[in-house]
Amino acid sequence: MSVTKIHTIKVEFGDCDPAGIVFFPNFLRWYDAAASHFFQDCGIPDWRDAEKTHGILGIPVVDLQTRFVKPATYGDTVEIHTSVIEWNAKTFVMKHELKRNGELLHEGRIIRVFATRHPDDPSRSKAVPVPEDFREKCS
């Protein structure tokens, strides 16, 4: 059973489109915030400090899949339930379930890597193995 953290979002008028429902790229914006909060809630330092301790700059996305079950709209308060459902050597898979009053509205599976600054070019980044202590704290 993996650790799950919850990040709460109030859906605002400006998050919605002329159909009156959430403009779908906003789900991804919220999942990105939920990913950072997940790691911090598990005791991982934020990415600014993680660079000093582990050389980790952030967690770029390599692949994502989402499924739309029911629309959300402004006035809704939704909960995003986030966990890491798979740890690989260099990648990990996060699952996000977005619920309103316990009912699933949308879900995403996002594959990410831990990135460090590229040794030959500080403006580029490079995937590194998942730090063992990060994995332990988040499992």
Residue 62 makes CB contacts below 8 A (sequence gap 6+) with 91, 111, 112, 113
- Exactly one of 6, 42, 51, 57 binds its own copies (CB under 8 A); which one? 57
Name the 3-class secondary structure at 128.
strand
Please, what is the Cα angle at 118 between 113 and 124, to 5 degrees? Answer: 80
Catalytic site includes residue 17: yes
Q: How far is the CB of 132 from its own copies (least distance, A)?
A: 24
Residue 103 binds its own copies, judged by CB under 8 A: no
Containing 108, the helix (H) or strand (E) segment is: strand 103-118
Residue 127 binds its own copies, judged by CB under 8 A: no
> Which parts of this chain interact with its own copies (CB under 8 A)?
10, 12-14, 16-21, 23-26, 28-29, 32-33, 36, 46-48, 57-58, 60-68, 71, 74-75, 123, 125
